[in-house]
Amino acid sequence: MFVSFFQVKSEGPKLVPFFKATCVYFVLWLPTSSPSWFSALIKCLPIFCLWVFLLAHGINFLVSHRSASRILAGLIFSAVGDAFLIWQEQGYFIHGLLMFAITHILYSSAFGMKPLDLKAGLFMGLVCSSCYAFLYSYLSGPFTYLVAVYIALIGFMGWRAVAGMQLCNDLWTWTKLSACIGAMLFMVSDLTIALNKFCFPVPYSRFIIMATYYAAQMLIALSAVESRDEEDFRKRS
């Protein structure tokens, strides 16, 4: 318990730029009806700060820990996807979808396949199947299969994050909990996007989408630092 407290306390100050950048986004609240490179920068700035957060742990750390480097790569593709979605009404929605699909593949790889936890996989499969079944009647053209593939990928990512949580024993860590909650929030964010775009207007959709999205990315970025934090703690002990 003390180790976890030390780890959280040591990482908190490094996230201050992220919190400030997120506040800038919500304070400026630039209109989506007039996309620009400035609005893309403001939207991507919190993700850029998460790049810096991971890079601050050192290049050697990223090189020696594949999960951390894959999460950093996922954050890079996320930023590109965010930029594409600024111009989604100009035909770049599918480009953004592709970037985030790659992000989920990278995150899944970072979370790994152990423990397998087939029960969690079955549950996630049922949740994702139910979501797609609801969306199906609203979809047309290429979105009929593109959304299906995307839901499968984010569902797989969610499964791997949930599987890492071993609440019934002493194997769970705060970083695995962080990954689990982050993955769930990412799914909430993307489901809100899908409902708002394909089905019906969701009240306060933009706030829900971005608040859950930024929180998800922060928590997933935090999940990458477990090995470094444990090493630092041992040195201080």
Kindly report, residue by residue over 198-219, the tens digit of the pLDDT. Answer: 999 999 999 999 999 999 999 9
Q: Which residues lie below 8 Å from residue 101, measured CB to CB, with a gap of 6+?
A: 149, 150, 153
- Quote the pLDDT of residue 56: 93
Q: CA-CA distance, 224 to 96, in Å (whole number)?
A: 24
What pLDDT, on a 0 to 100 scale, did the predictor assign at position 11?
83
Contact present, 11 and 233 (Cβ < 8 Å):
no
* pLDDT band with cut points at 50, 70 and 90 for residue 224: very high
Counting residues of the chain whose pLDDT is more than 70, the rounded percentage is 88
Residue-wise pLDDT for 64-123, tens only, equals: 999 999 999 999 999 999 999 999 999 999 999 999 999 999 999 999 999 899 999 999
* Residue 2 C-beta-side C-alpha neighbours within 13 Å: 4
Predicted local confidence at residue 174, as pLDDT: 82
pTM of the model: 0.92
For the cut 90, the answer to whether the pLDDT of residue 124 exceeds it is: yes
Distance CA 61, CA 111 (A): 17
pLDDT for 236 beyond 70: no
Residues 6+ apart with CB under 8 A from 41: none
Tokens of 68: 């951390």
pLDDT at 9 over 90: no
Contact 63, 69 (CB under 8 A): yes
Q: What is the mean pLDDT of the chain?
A: 90
Cα 9 to the chain's mean position, in Å? Answer: 22
